Amino acid sequence: MWNGRKPVISSGWGSPRKHGPHRGADIMFKREKGDPFPDRTPNGSKWHVMPDDVVAVAASDGIVWSAGWTSGGFAVVIDHGPQKVATFYTHMSTVLGAPTDRAKSGQRVYAGQPIGIIDFDPRDGQRLKHLHFELWLGGPKDAVDVAPIIKSWEYIKDPRPTSSPPPKTMTAPGPMVARNASLQYRSIGERGENYPDWVRALDGKSGVYVIREIDANGTPEVVYVGSSQGRLYDTLTRHFQIVRHEAQEAPMT
């Protein structure tokens, strides 16, 4: 949600396109009186608007099947198995996670987790910002009209601080915090050790987090970016257990 407004479909299933009917839904916000975005600009059309730095979030839990650059901008596909369902998100300026294909990264995301920053289709002369979203019952050829389905979905507020500037790279965590702030990475200790007090103090809180792993050469690598509403301790420690198990000897911060 943005300013208390739910996103809407600005262009839906079957709308005419150069290469055939539209096989997804374009997501924006309905224009209201006083919106500062003129028509025919990157942030506005006659009936809809899309501010800068709005996050796209995962529609449901799943595994990131692919994440990376395409001709339509950065795109993400999430596999929601064991059901034969996948969701596709594109026209993003960045992806909040590691690039991957065919689920090689094994990255799991949760419903409502930020996965990218909404931008525009580079092939669009107007460069109108919007999220193109598709629901696949199998693969890309099995896309279905999402309009009847999203009516029953729950909407959430942007999980980041309201003053967040846009991320500049696929894995850079710094822009995920408030303007003029900086990340303070802290160690969670070795495998088998109790979590430190700063982790326990997160119980019941909300926030955006970045997990990075220090490799054998001492080089830090971001392995996960996510958020949690009211369950930050539970969410973080679940990830710590997974990464600790996979990393074994590597320290994490």
Query: pLDDT tens-digit profile of 142-196?
Result: 999 999 888 878 787 765 554 444 433 332 222 223 333 345 677 877 777 788 8
Q: Tell me the pLDDT tens digit for each residue of 107-123.
A: 999 888 899 999 999 99
Lowest mean pLDDT among 43-57, 115-129, 207-221: 207-221
Helix (H, G, I), strand (E, B) or coil at 64: strand
Mean pLDDT of 54-62: 92
Task: Establish how many alpha carbons lie within 13 A of residue 220's alpha carbon, considering only the half-sphere containing its beta carbon.
Answer: 13
Q: Coil, helix or strand for 135? A: strand
- For the domain made up of 8-150, give the CATH fold: Glucose Permease (Domain IIA) (2.70.70)
DSSP string, 210-233: EEEEE-TTS-EEEEEEEEESS-HH
Residue 180 has what pLDDT?
A: 32
Euclidean distance between CA atoms 87 and 65, whole angstroms: 10
State the pLDDT confidence band at 227, using cuts at 50, 70 and 90: low
Whether residue 221 contacts residue 153, with contact meaning beta carbons closer than 8 Å, is answered with no
Q: Is the pTM of this model over 0.75?
A: no
* Terminal Cα distance for the chain, rounded: 31
Which of 27-36, 44-53, 85-94, 203-212 is predicted with the least confidence, judged by mean pLDDT?
Answer: 203-212
Contact 81, 63 (CB under 8 A): yes
Q: Which pLDDT belongs to residue 162? A: 44
Least confident of 67-71, 92-96, 98-102, 155-159: 155-159
Q: How far is 149 from 147, CA to CA, in rounded Å? A: 5
Q: How far apart are CA 181 and CA 204, in angstroms?
A: 23
pLDDT at 182: 40
Residue type, 233: Y
Say what the pLDDT of residue 132 is.
97
Residue 18 CB contacts under 8 Å (≥ 6 apart), including other chains: none
Domains in the chain: boundaries:
8-150, 184-247
- 78 contacts 62 by C-beta, under 8 angstroms: yes
Stretch 50-64: mean pLDDT: 92
Residue 210 is predicted with a pLDDT of 67
Q: Is the pLDDT of residue 67 over 90?
A: yes
Band of residue 4 on the pLDDT scale cut at 50, 70, 90:
confident
Q: How many helices (H) and strands (E) does the chain have?
A: 3, 13
Among the ranges given (1-5, 143-147, 197-201, 219-223), the one the predictor scored with the smallest mean pLDDT: 219-223
Mean pLDDT of 201-224: 72
| Mean pLDDT score across all residues of the chain | 80
* Amino acid type, 164: S
